[in-house]
Structures are given as C-alpha cells and as structure tokens.
C-alpha cells in the first residue's frame, strides 16, 4: 500500500530549557533540545501514531483533520 503524504501543523514552545512540539490535529507531542530536534521527534511520533491508528481501524475518525486543505493557526490572548 502506498503511503499518503500529509501536511500537518505543529506548534512549538520552550518549556524549562526544552522545546516542545505538538500536532493540533492529533494531540501528539514530543520534545527536543532545539526546535529542529523537537520537530524531528514529533515527525517520528506522528508516523508511529498514524501507523497504529491505521492498524487499529481508527484512521477514518481522523481523516477530516488530517486532510483538510484549510488549516490556520492563531495567537489569542485570554484572561486566566
């Protein structure tokens, strides 16, 4: 079976001297010492997650968020 290429978004932030990268579409997160390392680790974690989702028959539940052509990120300020 040919693997489909997906374009997913990632958010990154620094947390206690480590960079965290998270995919909003899946909730999968990883970390690294640099932003590049965090993204690389996130890519690996996403590939494993999606492979498991496919094997478990859960991929269809994620399809809309994974394949949407319209994705945006925004920074909003809230009071807490």
* Domain assignment of residue 75, yes or no: no
Domain span at residue 28 reads 11-67
**What is the pTM assigned to this prediction?**
0.83
pLDDT of residue 16: 93
Average pLDDT of the chain to the nearest whole number? 90
pLDDT of residue 11: 95
* Domain assignment of residue 2, yes or no: no
Q: Which residue is associated with the tokens 């052509």?
A: 69
The residue ranges of DSSP E strands in the chain, in sequence order, are 11-15, 18-22, 29-32
Total number of domains constituting the chain = 1
On the question of pLDDT at 50 being above 70, the answer is yes
* Domain assignment of residue 38, yes or no: yes
- Condensed to tens digits (0 to 9), the pLDDT of residues 2-26 reads 667 888 999 999 999 999 999 999 9
Compute the distance between CA of residue 12 and CA of residue 21 in angstroms, rounded to an integer. 4
pLDDT bin (cut points 50, 70, 90) of residue 64 is: confident
């Amino acid at each position: 079976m040919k693997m489909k290429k997906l374009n997913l978004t990632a958010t990154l932030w620094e947390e206690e001297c480590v960079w965290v990268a998270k995919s909003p579409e899946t909730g999968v997160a990883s970390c690294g010492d640099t932003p590049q390392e965090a993204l690389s680790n996130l890519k690996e974690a996403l590939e494993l997650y999606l492979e498991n989702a496919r094997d478990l028959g859960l991929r269809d539940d994620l399809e809309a968020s994974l394949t949407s052509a319209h994705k945006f990120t925004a920074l909003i300020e809230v009071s807490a």
